[in-house]
């Protein structure tokens, strides 16, 4: 297998993300059970292994996404929020009746 094929195989796909989400949800579901079932314990071990290996394999992608959100998108969203609040404030002040008119 070529290096390019290995890199394509290691890309975090939407399908893999959905599998991770499902695995975490299932782990929470069976982890909260008060009934002790050996099948559930084995499933928990498998889910933890899958989640751990997948996260370890894609850690640089997760960190990159976190950094991008924190350093690029959060400031943009905060700026847009301030602009929207200012526009709302100006519109509200323009709608108030003028008390000096008469």
Q: Where are the domains of the chain?
A: 1-57, 59-95
What are the structure tokens assigned to 43, written together? Answer: 């499933």
pLDDT digits (tens, 9 = 90+) for 41-81: 899 999 999 999 999 999 999 999 899 999 999 999 999 99
Judge whether residue 102 has pLDDT over 60. Answer: no
CA distance 57 to 7: 11
pLDDT (average), residues 18-43: 88
What are the structure tokens assigned to 65, written together? Answer: 């996404």
Q: Say what the pLDDT of residue 51 is.
A: 95
Q: Say what the pLDDT of residue 3 is.
A: 61
pLDDT confidence of 25, banded at 50, 70, 90? very high
CA distance 51 to 27: 10
Q: Say what the pLDDT of residue 50 is.
A: 96
Q: Say what the pLDDT of residue 56 is.
A: 94
């Amino acid at each position: 297998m070529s290096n390019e094929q290995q890199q394509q195989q290691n890309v975090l796909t939407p399908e893999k993300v959905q599998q991770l989400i499902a695995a975490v949800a299932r782990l929470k579901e069976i982890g909260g059970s008060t009934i002790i079932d050996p099948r559930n314990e084995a499933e928990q071990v498998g889910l933890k292994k899958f989640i751990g290996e997948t996260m370890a394999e894609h850690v640089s992608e997760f960190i990159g996404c976190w950094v991008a959100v924190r350093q690029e998108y959060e400031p943009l969203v905060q700026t847009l929020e301030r602009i929207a609040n200012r526009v709302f404030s100006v519109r509200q002040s323009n709608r108030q009746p003028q008390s000096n008119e008469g």
